Amino acid sequence: MQRRTESGVAAGLTIIEVLVSIALLSVIVLVVLTPLTGFFGLTRKSNQQVSATQAAQRAMEALRGDWLSQSNYDKNCLTNPAVLDGLKIEITALDVDNQPTGTLGRPGTCGAVISQPPLKRVRITQVDPQNSNKLLAELIVEVDRR
């Protein structure tokens, strides 16, 4: 923006105009960027939940895959127990009416037959490492004896 003076010489912006422009630009940038910092926190929480859910799903798929074999199901066997690292797992034996008959231990090595319930309810959870009261993922599946 140039102004013509009386003598016809082009004049530039005054220092006041430049300072006002910078102040306005700063206010606009501040208004736009402030909400973005909150979005970064939400993204981090969302990534934690997605990672926790994926870990729970991997563990459940490994467990169900191993339990396709009836002997592994009866032994409460998991060939790769490392998939459960960082996860809490609860296995409940169910009768044919879907009523709990007892709890089974954490799946592990393939030893002797533990029980032969017609159904098992598997609950896999993961909590936030910084806040043990905050549940990041919960997965509950009922698996039948084939």
Integer CA distances (angstroms), 136 to 51, 59, 62, in order: 9, 15, 20
Which residue, chain included where needed, has tokens 């105009």?
Answer: 17
Contact 138, 123 (CB under 8 A): yes
Q: Which DSSP state fits 77?
A: B
CA dihedral for 123, 77, 95, 118, sign (positive or negative): positive
- Percent of residues, the chain, with pLDDT higher than 70: 92
Contact 130, 48 (CB under 8 A): no
Please state the pTM of the whole predicted model.
0.69
Average pLDDT over the chain reads 86
Confidence tier at 125 by pLDDT (50, 70, 90): very high
| pLDDT per position as a tens digit, 14-29 | 899 999 999 999 999 9
Cα 74 to Cα 2: distance, rounded to the nearest angstrom: 87
Confidence tier at 50 by pLDDT (50, 70, 90): very high
